[in-house]
Chain A
């Protein structure tokens, strides 16, 4: 098999004299391999990918030591136009990579730049569109495509350059579950049917493992793990801030040391003993506290339609949110989750029905008072940061509420200390890391001490560890301040781990509202809701456990006793064998 990529002793510095962004990387990839690149946010994954496609140093200036060869060509000395026919690139945000308003025109942009004949361009456009399954959208306006379709279009754009290798930098970080599935199935097709060499950086490890051959983990700017996927999963990936598939984790808990399963089905096929042991068994789940706090938010027959639109976003929905409760809103893109948050924050008014905040109709509360009661953290933290330094960002709201400078500064510094950001008070907010920016956006809202906190995809774009840190932090505050929290989420594992309740939106209404276990149980019969429950739920649900587990922690005690009993059994069998052979008495 030919060598597709050969990286030798690669170190890259953005600032001369500063710390390198990646250090002494050695990596080889053979033609046809699918490599998953993982690591914490800021570990250097994007830098490595940008050195493979030649963006570093051809477009982004940086000091490069070592060599990167793509199909034998040194990227440092090869023109970008030549590299673009060897390596296709797909970045996070599809909107930044689409230049036309019609699908086929966008795919044609690259071949047109290569000055190919119009018949050749047509062939490439047709083939690329077919490969990503967008034939029916060939003349479709690009701005009307869904998130998943847009990212597939970007893949088609890259394929039209006829590259031998495709690199993808967190291609699904902006997509919902359905969009993510569309992109991954396109990649699977490219790999299975066309043997495309693929290198992909991705945080959604659990969902992509079935596709990849190898896992490369970058930690502290260097490669820490480079192994075939099932071997790599035997390592402790959590230690490096990477989310492991729950079935691999359970496999290791029960003493598995050979080849980690990736999917629930694989686990069921490999671990017959486990399956027999737990089939139909009972799970002791701590009873939820029956008492609830006061009603914080009340939706009473609320319907909403955007101005000049003919379609209802949702119709006649009712739900309550209680003080001290953490509720996740789930459902496909466009089902009305973010609209519900906008209604609670007063940015939109219901077309019909009534919303009450702490018992008062929302339209009787003025903007300033409402901002003191309801804090809203947007999807993209960058759109919430508009001050010149971190301190003034957090001071903004207290000042608006009439606090004098010293009071506002004291309040802001207290909150910054709480979030571990006090050391950055003079920094420009946009210079912080993505995780810090997310925390700052929450801090700038929490400084107002709201009773209700709205979070729109609070972990989007963050690695697993940082996402968990943010959510644990919020949960601590919920307890301390008896706040009510609503978080829009596409990550069902997080919804299961952190929520008291899950509300599922679908097709203009609420289709399920209850504890995560009951909502996931209902979702099993409704694939159209596009909720993919956590693996531990799928595993225990398929084993007929009553009730199915939603968190690994619920299974830990059972697994420990299972491990003990099986090891005792194994010891007894071994002992019996020894006795029979007359070797030893146990």
Chain B
């Protein structure tokens, strides 16, 4: 094949995955949807009554069992996790956020695995690895060998694991208040500073995104055009591309300054409310395991044990070869 064609194909294939992922996240979810991802709204279903520690354990078990079992078990987990969102407050709005995010994770992972998996591993798994589009050797420096049917198939199988783990993780964020997550992290012996940082980050991300959008708007109203170049001249396209990169870097610097100012204010306010005043904290709502938590805990242990068993009888992480 023509080397120029291969170079162009390689660059397009490598960049298409991340760009498709970003496109899905921003276009389908939208800015407001992305912000609402971090805004907990209280509900009454069993998911909200579950102790956050169980939900953390759920994410861990799903991720672990997916890692050492065959792909269709991850697919079952993914379906099960997605069906649980039906029990959240306003499930359609949650699906509108979770489905594109899961899909983006799925496509991103599949794409990455398809292009970046070592051919020797694919040959070992599938017996043969024939490239549809082999990449020029220079791309091997970054671990990209080319696109093969086996690679693509392998990528899809791995993608189920990542997607199931992501779906389980967002279930925790949607159905537990940050305060409860903080309490459960502390109860799990995570240092209080780390837990607080995670919770503040969860609250700060929407503000940060809003600020980023405002700064980009400020650039727009001062004449900066983030739209396409409206020209076929590669020099104009390239110049526009670099202008946009420069604008994003300038905006990033401004966002960092804004964030640091906010961070200092948050730190002062936390200190003024006695943060780290004592070695231990007490809790407004003490977290206790209820019956539903013990039942869920038992179920999770069973899932883990079944996973170990299935892995042992031949349904391990080996790729399925049709």
Contact = CB atoms under 8 A, between A and B. Distances in A.
Interface of A: 53, 55, 58-60, 79-81, 84-85, 88-89, 91, 93, 95-102, 104-106, 108-118, 121-122, 125, 139, 141, 143, 157-158, 161, 306-308, 345-347, 366-368, 371-372, 374-376, 378, 380, 382-388, 396-397, 400-401, 430, 444-445, 448
A342 to B, nearest CB: 8
A96 B265 contact: yes
A335 B84 CA distance: 38
Nearest to B31: A307
Interface string B261-284: 110011111111111111011111
B218 interface: yes
7 contacts: A58-B271, A161-B274, A347-B217, A368-B225, A384-B218, A387-B250, A396-B222
A279 to B, nearest CB: 50
Interface of B: 30, 32-33, 39-42, 177-179, 196, 199-200, 203, 206-207, 211, 214-215, 217-225, 227, 250-251, 253-254, 257-258, 261-262, 265-278, 280-286
A557 to B, nearest CB: 43
Nearest to A140: B42
B218 A53 contact: no
Contacts of B40: 101-102, 141
B227 A367 contact: yes
Contact of B274 (A84, A104, A345, A368): A84
For the complex of A and B, the 5 pairs showing the least CB-CB separation, nearest first, are A81-B277, A108-B284, A371-B223, A113-B274, A105-B179
A161 B284 contact: no
B193 to A, nearest CB: 12
Nearest to A58: B271
B273 A109 contact: yes
A106 B270 CA distance: 11
A445 B281 CA distance: 50
Contacts of A80: 271-272, 277
A484 B283 CA distance: 57
B278 A99 contact: no
Contacts of A157: 273
A498 B282 CA distance: 55
Pick from B262, B273, B283 the residue with the most CB of A within 10 Å.
Answer: B273
Given A141-B39, A306-B32, A95 B272 contact: no
B177 A143 contact: no
Contacts of B268: 55, 59-60, 91
B95 to A, nearest CB: 14
B248 to A, nearest CB: 11
B277 A114 contact: yes
Contacts of A102: 40, 42, 177, 179
A115 B32 CA distance: 37
Contact of B267 (A59, A88, A445, A448): A59
Given A371-B222, A397-B222, A400-B222, A112 B211 contact: no
A537 B134 CA distance: 80
B277 A307 contact: no
A372 B85 CA distance: 49
A444 B222 contact: yes
A115 B280 contact: yes
B223 A448 contact: yes
Contacts of B218: 378, 383-384, 386
A115 B221 contact: no
Pick from A101, A117, A372, A378 the residue with the most CB of B within 10 Å.
Answer: A101
A487 to B, nearest CB: 16
B221 A345 contact: yes
A89 B253 CA distance: 30
A399 to B, nearest CB: 9
Given A91-B265, A112-B284, A383 B211 contact: yes
B273 to A, nearest CB: 4
Contacts of B32: 306-308
Contact of B278 (A105, A115, A367, A388): A115
Given A100-B177, A371-B220, A386-B251, 14 more contacts: A58-B271, A81-B278, A84-B272, A84-B274, A91-B269, A97-B265, A112-B282, A118-B283, A118-B285, A121-B283, A122-B284, A367-B227, A386-B219, A387-B250
B203 A400 contact: no
Contact of A84 (B200, B251, B277): B277
Contacts of A371: 220-223
A143 B37 CA distance: 13
A368 B177 contact: no
B256 to A, nearest CB: 11
A345 B224 CA distance: 13
Contacts of A143: 39, 203, 206
A96 B206 CA distance: 13
A448 B222 CA distance: 8
Given A59-B268, A113-B278, A367-B225, A105 B177 contact: yes
Contacts of B227: 367
A322 B223 CA distance: 23
A368 B223 contact: yes
Contacts of B286: 118
B282 A101 contact: no
Nearest to A384: B218
Nearest to A347: B217
Contacts of B30: 307-308
A121 B284 contact: yes
A105 B272 contact: no
A113 B30 CA distance: 37
Contact of B221 (A95, A347, A387): A347
A106 B281 CA distance: 15
Contacts of A106: 179
A80 B281 CA distance: 17
Contact of B203 (A99, A115, A345): A99
A388 B250 CA distance: 9
A110 B215 contact: no
Nearest to B278: A115
Pick from B219, B278, B282 the residue with the most CB of A within 10 Å.
Answer: B282
Contact of A115 (B200, B206, B211, B281): B281
A386 B41 CA distance: 35
B41 to A, nearest CB: 6
A118 B282 contact: yes
Contacts of A117: 282
B272 A382 contact: no
A375 to B, nearest CB: 8
A367 B223 contact: yes
A200 to B, nearest CB: 16
Contacts of A104: 284
Given A102-B42, A118-B282, A397 B223 contact: yes
A386 B274 contact: no
Nearest to B215: A383
B107 to A, nearest CB: 23
A216 B224 CA distance: 47
A79 B272 CA distance: 10
B280 to A, nearest CB: 6
Contacts of A121: 282-284
Nearest to A95: B207
Contacts of B273: 84, 109-110, 113, 157-158, 161
B262 A383 contact: no
A93 B177 contact: no
A85 B272 CA distance: 9
Contacts of B251: 386
Contacts of A116: 282
B180 to A, nearest CB: 8
Pick from B214, B272, B284 the residue with the most CB of A within 10 Å.
Answer: B272
A389 to B, nearest CB: 12
B206 A114 contact: no
A345 B270 CA distance: 39
A491 to B, nearest CB: 22
